[in-house]
Amino acid sequence: MAAKESVREESHAVGANQLIVLKGGSGKPLLILHEELGYPGWMKWNEALSERRTLVTPLYPGFGRTPLADWIMNIRDLASFIARFVREQNLAPIDAIGFSLGGWVAAEMAANDPGLFSKLVLVAPAGIRPPEGEIKDLFTVPALIYLRDSVRDFATSPEFSALYDGGTSPEQYEAFEDARAETARLAWQPYMFNPSLPHLLEGTNVPSLIVWGRDDRIVPISAAQVYQKSMKNARTLVLDGSGHRPEVEKSQQFIEQVRNFLG
């Protein structure tokens, strides 16, 4: 993993609200939209992609150190807020990678304003109801169980298990619970999907790569076919031997494929 000091923290005003943004690397900006349990830390894939790109990771309001914005009532509001940040920082059109909940945020942004993105990578995105199976309920199990279920085999994912060895610390639990509470507030009803999103995405033509682990137990892989059908200029990459976190479980393949796609 990268040294902690290689990632710098910035604070930006977006309207009347504060947004904490983490930046690391150098080169053309690459927007990173984090998952439902917050920013997971700087991993092997971050380090690899940051050799050529500046990774820009906003911490959503109510997640991590960004203060809650109570007017943000759903994922579409959150997407509009992040889109405003992108526009006001003159980052558009920008390449982006969205993970799980962050993939849903990215999809809402693209549906509303495709011009925000030059290329888009969606990694096991929530946001669309799977035609087969159900999105795993984040609130019926402790956060650490949810995390373990998100990989195909926790014992063989040393980077991920090492990162969350500190999960029992008060600070880590507080961060998890803050993220869980805000995810519940934004995405509870209906749970983790927007019924209109497939229809809204039909108007997008952003070159997109949809990445899924074949053994995903969080967001069923059947949702990939709906994303693929809805997005005119998308292709799907399925990685065997991976659950919900192919960027960790199959990091080398993930890095190579994303680098090739982004160019």
Burial of residue 171 (CB within 10 Å: 0-12, 13-18, 19+) is exposed
Model confidence at 227: pLDDT above 60: yes
- What CATH number corresponds to the domain at position 242? 3.40.50.1820
Q: Assign 260 to helix, strand or coil.
A: helix
Residue 32 lies in a domain: yes
pLDDT digits (tens, 9 = 90+) for 127-159: 999 999 999 999 888 888 888 889 988 666 666
Kindly state the average pLDDT of the residues 204-226: 97
Model confidence at 167: pLDDT above 80: no
pLDDT digits (tens, 9 = 90+) for 6-26: 899 999 999 999 999 999 999
Neighbours of 163 (CB within 10 A): 17
Residue 138 lies in a domain: yes
- Main-chain phi, psi angles of 227, to 5 degrees: -60, -45
Domain of residue 93, residue span: 4-258
Residue 263 lies in a domain: no
Task: Output DSSP code: residue 35.
Answer: B
CA nearest to 116, candidates 88, 89, 97, 91: 91
Residue 112 lies in a domain: yes
Say how far apart CA 93 and CA 98 lie, in whole Å: 15
Q: How many domains does one find in the chain?
A: 1
- The structure's pTM equals 0.94
Task: Output DSSP code: residue 116.
Answer: G
Say how far apart CA 37 and CA 26 lie, in whole Å: 26
Percent of the chain with pLDDT over 70: 92
* pLDDT score, position 109: 98
Range of lowest pLDDT (27-31, 79-83, 167-171, 192-196): 167-171
* pLDDT score, position 206: 98
- Assigned token pair, 16: 């009347």
Contact 63, 39 (CB under 8 A): yes
Kindly state the average pLDDT of the residues 66-74: 97
- Assigned token pair, 119: 């290329």
